[in-house]
Amino acid sequence: MAFADPFSSIPLPEIVARCDELFNAGKGTETGELLRRWRRKAQELGDKRNELSLLNELIGHYRMQGDPERGREAVSAACGLIRELELSDTLSAGTILLNCATALQSFGQNDEALSLYAESARICEKHLPPGDKRFAGLYNNMAAAYVEKRAFKAAEGLYLQALDVLQKCGELMDSAVTCLNLAQLYRSWNNDEELIETML
């Protein structure tokens, strides 16, 4: 695959497309190597915005590969670039912070994840209309982090908010998944058979 001249710009769409090809072919190692190579090139060029985009891809990659050491470094670097580029109040930052939080949660860092989820929620509430489908993913992920902390009441509230958004958006399959999450929550929390049966 021929990329554009790397010394004039980072060809981000081509890089992401190539990463998708490698990922779909089951070549996780090569995917990571490609992203790290282009991140280094972005750093050499001082191309911080594209470096941030590459870090966002790497964060998801490290989460899926179960690589907490590299994942935490990428999260820290991404948060630093968001501040440096003064993007903290943009929807793009909200999306990246959600990705960061999900990665940290997968690495068992629920407190740090919840802090980033809260910041992502603040940003999204500023830029998205109420009931936007993207809130459902945020609420579901936040709820899962609270379940890990056994903060069941907080988790219940978030799952119910996610379910409300999904039902209003007509997303039946995702609504069903959230109902199952609630059923599992009630089993762990109070074993309320009526609530579990209702969710099922």
Residue 89 CA neighbour count, 13 Å, CB half: 1
- Give the separation between CA 62 and CA 106, rounded to whole angstroms: 10
Tens of pLDDT along the chain (200 residues) come to 434 444 457 899 999 999 889 988 998 899 999 999 999 999 999 999 999 999 999 999 999 999 999 999 999 999 999 999 999 999 999 999 999 999 999 999 999 999 999 999 999 999 999 899 999 999 999 999 999 999 999 999 999 999 999 999 999 999 999 999 999 999 999 999 999 999 99
Model pLDDT, residue 154: 97
User: pTM for the whole thing?
Assistant: 0.88
Q: Is 134 helix (H, G, I), strand (E, B) or coil?
A: helix
Which residues touch 8 (CB under 8 Å, ≥6 apart)? none
Per-residue confidence (pLDDT) for residue 23, from 0 to 100: 86
- Which residue reads 């998801």 in tokens? 60
Q: What pLDDT is recorded for position 28?
A: 86
Long-range contact list for 32-39, CB < 8 A, 24+ apart? 32/58, 32/61, 32/62, 32/65, 32/67, 32/70, 35/61, 38/6, 38/10
- Give pLDDT, residue 67: 97
The pLDDT of residue 134 is 94
The answer to whether 1 touches 39, Cβ cutoff 8 Å, is: no
What was the pLDDT predicted at 3?
Answer: 40
